[in-house]
Amino acid sequence: MMGHAVFPEIIDGEEEWYEKVRDKFEKQQFPQETHACSAITSKCWLKEYESAEKLLRDIDDIEKGLRTGEATQLD
């Protein structure tokens, strides 16, 4: 979905690669990337959205900020 490996140091298909990735997620060691929706991605990883509606509101806020050039602070 991101166009590249989530964890570049773990090679897809190598021995125990699935277990290594699962272990990182279980320890809440998520990929740290910077892009327009980084805050949304982080909130998804941490299961901080109570509903899809709140997620859509954050997406809308980010889109508005990108159009106006204003920084967007998510709750």
Mean pLDDT on 15-25: 94
Provide the domain limits for residue 33. 17-68
* Within-domain flag for 49: yes
Q: Calculate what percentage of the chain has a pLDDT beyond 70.
A: 96
Q: What is the domain count for the chain?
A: 1
Quick check: 40 pLDDT over 90?
yes
pLDDT band at residue 71, thresholds of 50, 70 and 90?
confident
Sequence-distant (6+) residues with CB within 8 A of 5 are 11, 12
Averaged pLDDT score across all residues of the chain: 89
Quick check: 64 pLDDT over 80?
yes
* Within-domain flag for 5: no
Mean pLDDT on 16-33: 92
Report how far Cα 46 is from the mean position of its chain's Cα atoms: 9
User: Do 36 and 67 form a contact (C-beta atoms < 8 A)?
Assistant: no
pLDDT band at residue 2, thresholds of 50, 70 and 90?
low
